Amino acid sequence: MATYGGAGKNDFKIPELKNDGAQFWTKVDATTGKTTVYRRYPGIFGSAVGENNVEIGTIEKGEDFVPTNNALLGGFDDNLTKDERKAFLSDAVQKKVKQKALETAIKGNEENGVGPINARLRANQLMDPDRTEAPSDPNQSEEDAAAQASEEGVDEANDAYTSLKNSDVAKANANTKKGAGSFGDFSYPLDRNQSQDFMKFTLLEYKPKKIGSGSGGTGFGFAARKRVGPNDTKTDRTILGSCSLPIPGGIKDENGAEWAPQTMNALEIEGLNIANAALGGGSGDAGSEADALLGKIETNNEDLKRAVRGIAAGKAVGVEGQALTRTTGMIFNPNLELLFDKPTLRGFSFSFDLVPRSKKEAEECVKIIRFFKQGMSPIRSASNLFLLSPNVFQIHYVLNGNGFKDHPYIGKMKECAMTNFAVDYTPQQNYSTLADGFMTAYKIRMDLKELEPVFNDDYGTSNTIVEIGF
């Protein structure tokens, strides 16, 4: 049975134990990840001669420490006092023991000729209680090991976040409307011509992006958020309900990108070259880059040298550049240029007039108002420790009223958060109700913003598709 570790290889003391200087060490099964903990009593003058190693317990992968009792050699109870046993079983000490076991597995892999990155990867895999397959190839390159470690680290983070999200402490309040179809499907007007274009608001349960799985298979960034189609059939998202409304006037979209003016004068450029060389990104070293800068200065006159020294002195006291400008009226060319700063998020505003013509239609209007109000509201956890993200909306301009096709000649929208929803109960500027108390008219206005920017690749590469896209 292959194992990692041994007496004298990764010994450690436990300050919490007021013992006679004895040390501890771990042995890790290279196949199962089982850890055996030993207490080591050094021999004569601290040597191995006459030393005594006593097994005091074991730790199965993912389990707690189990003390060992050996009638012949003693064990946990015979080698630790009552207070020491209590201290040894504390969370802090047990965490330390498990960390030492992991270090033992890492060092054991390195002793077998495994590279340091791969050694750590294999040790973590061996000690992972949720892993059933064998550790990775001990002969794989350090580059491959680093990539695999990064990917598995991302998976671990995602699992932790998912576990928290699904935990009892993060569950939604019992009075929260949730689950597929829980909000219902609504339409105004009730007798809407089914062949006419319309707007469809699909209410979705908010789904956070997972870390990793970036574009190009690099593992960087966040996983893509797939757009839910008008017919809502092929999706892994929880669809809570929908509302269909006539397309209002004034619909528009506005794409943007933020650019910002940036400057970099000659001295800053040379400083960048020096820093880049120091970090290994240049063609030479930092010293040669600095010499090159001095050489450029030396080729110029003494006045320039004095000016540079003046700027350096001014920078030291926080008045960089002022001396040159105040005394000569000149500045170093800042090389001003407009540079890309960041993408923007598109916002949308819509306004609808709801004028019921019957009690049934009035009830539908009220349900629609409640649909949007409740759908955009934050969600309290049952524990009241967290607030969960509100639900979100996927909006479609539906062509020909068939519910299966986005309108190709109007810009599409990505998933949106509703940032504001307003209701005017007297849009006709006078208080008026139907016989049963329903208002004779409602005017609703909503503001939404896409959850993520629109990127070049969202449009694809085809030149033959006749549609606007986003």
Residue-wise pLDDT for 410-421, tens only, equals: 999 999 999 999
Last residue of a domain, one of 311, 335, 359: 335
Residue 148 inside a domain? The answer is no
Confidence band, pLDDT 50/70/90 cuts, at residue 287: very low
Tell me what the mean pLDDT of segment 320-327 comes to: 67
Looking at the structure, tell me whether residues 130 and 275 fall in a common domain.
Answer: no
Tell me what the mean pLDDT of segment 147-167 comes to: 62
**Residue 467 to residues 89, 202, 450, Cα–Cα distance (Å):** 67, 22, 20
How many distinct structural domains can be found in the chain? 3
Joined together, the tokens standing for residue 336 give: 């001003």
Q: What is the pLDDT of residue 216?
A: 42
Closest CA to 180 of 228, 241, 227, 235: 241
Confidence band, pLDDT 50/70/90 cuts, at residue 286: very low
Joined together, the tokens standing for residue 71 give: 């009638």
DSSP secondary structure of 393-446 = EEEEEEGGG-SS-B-TTS-----EEEEEEEEES-TTSS--B-TTS-BS-EEEEE
Looking at the structure, tell me whether residues 283 and 386 fall in a common domain.
Answer: no
Q: What is the pLDDT of residue 166?
A: 67
Last residue of a domain, one of 315, 335, 355: 335
Looking at the structure, tell me whether residues 295 and 353 fall in a common domain.
Answer: no
Looking at the structure, tell me whether residues 195 and 314 fall in a common domain.
Answer: no
Q: What's the domain range around 370? A: 170-255+345-459
Give yes or no for residue 150 having a pLDDT over 90: no
Q: What is the pLDDT of residue 151?
A: 66
Looking at the structure, tell me whether residues 290 and 394 fall in a common domain.
Answer: no
Looking at the structure, tell me whether residues 319 and 427 fall in a common domain.
Answer: no
Q: Can you say how many angstroms the Cα of residue 398 is from the centroid of all Cα atoms in its chain?
A: 33
Element of type H or E holding 23: strand 23-29
Residue 145 inside a domain? The answer is no
Looking at the structure, tell me whether residues 250 and 359 fall in a common domain.
Answer: yes
pTM of the predicted model over 0.75: no
Task: State the chain's mean pLDDT as an integer.
Answer: 81
- Highest mean pLDDT, choosing among 103-112, 147-156, 309-318, 446-455: 446-455
Q: How far, in Å, CA of 240 to CA of 179, rounded?
A: 6
Looking at the structure, tell me whether residues 360 and 321 fall in a common domain.
Answer: no
Element of type H or E holding 257: strand 257-262
Residue 202 inside a domain? The answer is yes
CA angle 163, 168, 170 (to 5 degrees): 75
Q: What is the pLDDT of residue 67?
A: 87
Tell me what the mean pLDDT of segment 19-42 comes to: 83
Looking at the structure, tell me whether residues 219 and 183 fall in a common domain.
Answer: yes
In the chain, % of residues over pLDDT 70: 76
Looking at the structure, tell me whether residues 285 and 433 fall in a common domain.
Answer: no
